[in-house]
Amino acid sequence: MNITDFTAACPIPISQYPQVLMAHGGGGKLMHRLLEDVFGRAFSNPILDTRHDSAQFDVPLGRLAMTTDSYVVRPLFFPGGDIGSMAIHGTVNDLAMSGARPLYLSCGFIIEEGLPMETLWRVVCSMRDAAKKCGVQIITGDTKVVDKGKGDGLFINTTGIGVIEHEQKISPQNVRPGDAVMVSGDLGRHGMAIMAVREGLQFESAIESDSAPVHEAVLQLLKAGIEIHCLRDLTRGGLASALNEIAEAAGVKIAVEQKLIPVREDVHAACEMLGLDPLHVANEGRFVAFIAAKDAARALQIMRANAVPATAVLIGKVVEKFAPLVTIKSELGVSRILDMPSGEQLPRIC
């Protein structure tokens, strides 16, 4: 859907209210119209349409998973996604890392005074479409308008609830020696896509964000009876942070190989130009999986058959119970410690 489509369909006439006003957050008629004609129209479902202070809903039998996250990306729109679809994908993916089937989301919007109404409508429509694709419903939310200069355009907070319909215990504490370590696809595209737009960088080929939902791949692994010990999505801090966090929580040594880790050539070149390590760069549609060795080959086959992690690969294994440590072997066969990134390399990427 292009910008013209959003403009033509915007339920609040651009000519009347081309920008969000402080009054849109003041509790009066303008706020009511914003909630009803923008958010209510886009996210309409039987639970949300009750217009009550809290959502009431039924859940299937099983354990529940709950997660919350906030999204402060700049720019709001980037190649391969935007803050709206990313908020849906990120919440769904967090639930998936517990092996949960996502069901319901809440969304809180902090809108800066002066944000073009057309921009807000584009984001809301993107969220609507992403939620529909993921099979989740947005059933409650909140909107606040802050003074111009105090909100960087738009911030979104989400909370997600999912149901765990299996008996496996998927957590870092269940990682054990011998586990296969695999990633669901190529790394670094999200961070580089945003950096390219923000800094006006031109590359020979377009780098698009990998923002996408991964829950279907996880649910397929569980349905097939794959023994999953741990899952972690590779957002801020990238693969390096995820591996170190898991090694610390499990008290293990993890060894991976550089040549096995998939990084596209254009992403690698962009990282070199900016002095970044692609293993430290954030992703929004990738995860690392710790799988029992006996199921590794079958897990890869299942993941590669899924549209999102079609390029899943084995990158290493858990070596032993040890003081928390992650090592990486270079293409020359030299091993070094793979540490977490120090400091903040890429502000406002998720």
| One domain for residues 200 and 64 | no
Q: Supply the CATH number for residue 87's domain.
A: 3.30.1330.10
Q: Which of 106, 131, 164 marks a domain boundary?
A: 164
* Residues composing the chain: 350
Q: Which helix (H) or strand (E) holds 181?
A: strand 180-183
| One domain for residues 144 and 223 | no
| One domain for residues 330 and 206 | yes
pLDDT of residue 15: 54
Residue 308 lies in a domain: yes
pLDDT of residue 5: 47
* Cβ(320)–Cβ(252) below 8 Å: yes
Q: What's the rounded Cα separation, in Å, for the pair 349 and 81?
A: 12
Q: Which of 164, 181, 210 marks a domain boundary?
A: 164
Residue 200 lies in a domain: yes
Residue 345 lies in a domain: no
CB burial readout 211-237, b (16+ within 10 A) else e: bbbbbbbbbebbeeebbbbbbbbbbbb
Q: Based on the structure, what is the number of domains in the chain?
A: 2
pLDDT of residue 198: 82
| One domain for residues 150 and 282 | no
Q: Where are the alpha helices (DSSP H) in the chain?
A: 3-9, 29-34, 41-43, 83-96, 117-134, 189-199, 215-223, 238-250, 265-274, 296-304
Strand partners, 326: 254
| One domain for residues 145 and 218 | no
Q: What's the rounded Cα separation, in Å, for the pair 186 and 195?
A: 17
Q: What's the rounded Cα separation, in Å, for the pair 301 and 181?
A: 14
pTM of the predicted model, to two decimals?
A: 0.92
Return the axis-axis angle of helices 83-96 and 117-134, rounded to nearest 10°: 30
pLDDT of residue 4: 42
| One domain for residues 176 and 158 | no
* Cβ(22)–Cβ(112) below 8 Å: no
| One domain for residues 143 and 209 | no
Q: How many CA atoms lie within 13 A of 339 on its CB side?
A: 5
| One domain for residues 148 and 207 | no
Residue 344 lies in a domain: no
Per the structure, the complete domain to which residue 253 belongs is given by 172-337
CB-based contacts of 14: which residues, under 8 Å, 6+ apart?
A: 7, 117, 118
Strand partners, 335: 329
Residue 100: DSSP 8-state? P
User: Cα-atom radius of gyration of the chain, to the nearest Å?
Assistant: 21
Q: Count Cβ atoms within 10 A of the Cβ of residue 275 and give its class: 0-12 exposed, 13-18 middle, 19 or more buried.
A: exposed
Residues of the chain with pLDDT under 70: 1-15, 204, 343-348
pLDDT of residue 205: 74
Residue 259 lies in a domain: yes
Residue 132 lies in a domain: yes
Query: In this structure, what token pair is assigned to residue 19?
Result: 């920008």
